């Protein structure tokens, strides 16, 4: 049990989630040389970035439009109506290259790496021996013998290098000087055609394309973190070429009402896209967060975590899941949540009952005209339509000190323009199949 909120069952965790409700705690972020600046950092500052977080040991822009000018909802409007540029260099690129690259990657991801063709990408997960999710990157196969892990927020390079100390696969594992940006929004294809030519229109979902932009070598993927139509541009030799690429995008983007924005967590929540470290971590099993489809029943050979994941699946099928809380989608009342939550807000089964769960990712959906969220609730409360209560801060609550009504609903909360694999599987009834 967590000592801060003992009514929430976290006995299956070695390090419980800190559920102490501290609220906003304004501090000045110290910018120093211990944390890296990406090649685009100064460019983000020039475009009005006024706050940042730390992600993958790098400073990460998290807001450009000031609250008194409309804040994150103005950035959202540009994303869903026009096109946006995101500095996502914090998605550090770890290259695995060599004769054994495919065999090595196949041992560390749960999916079958042998089925990924060259110049294609996949959303994948890597688990530890206990089945906990270590990272959920986009994996790019840029050649038969070369893969790039486009990381979410964890030190995966050190782990990959560590596991190969014993395995001794003939591969080189290292971070490379490649920094991505994202081009997201309904006008993204038009912008990309202006930037690199008509061939980009033929790049499929999770497809890759090599191109040159003003002499700079790039890999382009049709991927993103928004649920909207979008692309990522992986700039090679980025410490030398960042300004060149950035300027080229801004110049062609002007005709399409391009806006530089922060990663749109309000949109990714609506799409049901998970954020590592916020919605899951190394103590979370894939089955807890709707990622059962990432754990194949018949993958040939071994991979790290296979034994634990298969055992967990058997326990779930026997009606005795090895965890007490499950991630669920929620619609909740209250005033519009228009910014990042500083805490994991608590969830109760009765209006004034003890907390039994917590919210991980909340935001207001303009399309649905209601607050939406992901959150962990007891297994008994995961059925669609279950009524719950969420303890919002006073600024969002209908009445100070009184929780707001919530309901368990399906995710994604609304169809995506750029559907993820899970959304595609959901149409076939396979997204949550254990």
The candidate with the shortest Cα–Cα distance to 347, out of 339, 357, 338, 337, is: 357
pLDDT at residue 1 in the model = 44
Whether the CB-CB separation of 274 and 153 falls below 8 Å is answered with no
**DSSP string covering 318-354:** TT--S-SEEEEEEEE-SS---S--SS--EEESSTTSP
Closest to 140 (Cα-Cα) out of 124, 158, 157: 124
Q: Is the pTM of this model over 0.85?
A: yes
What is the rounded CA–CA span in Å between residue 389 and residue 350?
A: 6
Q: pLDDT value at position 430?
A: 56
Strand partners of residue 178 = 236
Q: How far apart are CA 344 and CA 23, in angstroms?
A: 10
Going from the C-alpha of 79 to that of each of 34, 76, 266, 389, 411, the distances in angstroms are 33, 5, 11, 31, 20
DSSP 65: S
| CA–CA gap between residue 405 and residue 349 (Å, rounded) | 10
Containing 404, the helix (H) or strand (E) segment is strand 404-409
**Selecting from 3.40.50.300, 3.30.1360.120, 3.20.20.80, 3.40.50.150, what CATH number does the domain 278-427 have?**
3.30.1360.120
Q: How many CB atoms lie within 10 A of CB 360?
A: 22
For residue 417, how far is the Cα from the chain centroid? 17
For residue 100, give both structure tokens.
Answer: 């054994």
What pLDDT shows up at residue 424? 62
pLDDT at site 414: 86
Give the residue from 403, 429, 391 showing the smallest Cα distance to 19.
Answer: 391
Rg from Cα positions in the chain: 21
Rounded to whole angstroms, the Cα distance separating 245 from 182 reads: 12
pLDDT of the residue at 4: 81
Q: What is the mean pLDDT of each run of 10 residues along the chain (434 residues)?
A: 80 94 89 96 97 96 97 96 98 98 98 98 98 98 98 95 97 98 98 98 98 98 95 98 98 98 95 97 98 94 97 97 98 97 97 96 96 98 98 97 97 78 58 60
pLDDT for 420 equals 60
């Amino acid at each position: 049990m967590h000592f801060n909120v003992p009514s929430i069952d976290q006995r299956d965790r070695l390090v419980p989630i800190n559920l102490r409700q501290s609220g906003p705690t304004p501090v000045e972020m110290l910018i120093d040389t211990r944390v890296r600046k990406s090649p685009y950092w100064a460019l983000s500052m020039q475009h009005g970035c006024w706050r940042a977080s730390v992600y993958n040991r790098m400073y990460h822009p998290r807001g450009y439009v000031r609250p008194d000018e409309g804040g994150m909802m103005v950035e959202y409007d540009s994303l869903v109506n026009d096109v946006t540029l995101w500095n996502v260099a914090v998605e550090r690129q770890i290259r695995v290259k060599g004769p054994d690259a495919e065999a090595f990657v196949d041992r560390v991801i749960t999916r079958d790496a042998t089925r990924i063709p060259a110049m294609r990408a996949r959303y994948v997960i890597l688990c530890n021996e206990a089945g906990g999710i270590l990272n959920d990157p986009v994996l790019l196969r840029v050649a038969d013998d070369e893969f790039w892990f486009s990381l979410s927020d964890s030190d995966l390079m050190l782990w990959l290098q560590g596991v190969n100390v014993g395995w001794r696969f003939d591969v080189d594992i290292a971070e490379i000087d490649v920094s991505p940006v994202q081009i997201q929004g309904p006008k993204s294809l038009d912008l990309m055609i202006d930037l690199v030519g008509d061939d980009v229109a033929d790049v499929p979902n999770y497809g890759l394309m090599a191109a040159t932009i003003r002499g700079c070598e790039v890999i382009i993927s049709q991927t993103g973190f928004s649920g909207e139509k979008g692309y990522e541009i992986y700039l090679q030799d980025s410490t030398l070429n960042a300004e060149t690429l950035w300027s080229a995008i801004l110049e062609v983007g002007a005709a399409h009402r391009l806006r530089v924005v922060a990663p749109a967590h309000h949109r990714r929540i609506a799409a049901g896209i998970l954020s590592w470290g916020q919605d899951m971590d190394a103590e979370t099993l894939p089955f807890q967060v709707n990622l059962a489809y990432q754990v194949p029943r018949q993958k040939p050979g071994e991979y790290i975590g296979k034994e634990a994941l298969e055992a967990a699946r058997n326990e779930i099928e026997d009606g005795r899941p090895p965890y007490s809380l499950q991630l669920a989608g929620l619609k909740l009342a209250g005033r519009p949540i228009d910014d990042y939550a500083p805490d994991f807000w608590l969830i109760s089964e009765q209006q004034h009952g003890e907390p039994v769960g917590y919210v991980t990712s909340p935001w207001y959906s303009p399309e649905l005209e209601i607050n939406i969220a992901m959150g962990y609730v007891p297994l008994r409360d995961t059925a669609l339509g279950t009524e719950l209560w969420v303890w919002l801060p006073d600024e969002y609550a209908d009445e100070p000190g009184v929780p707001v009504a919530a309901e368990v609903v399906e995710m994604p909360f609304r169809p995506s323009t750029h559907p993820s694999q899970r959304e595609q599987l959901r149409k076939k009834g396979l997204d949550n199949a254990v």
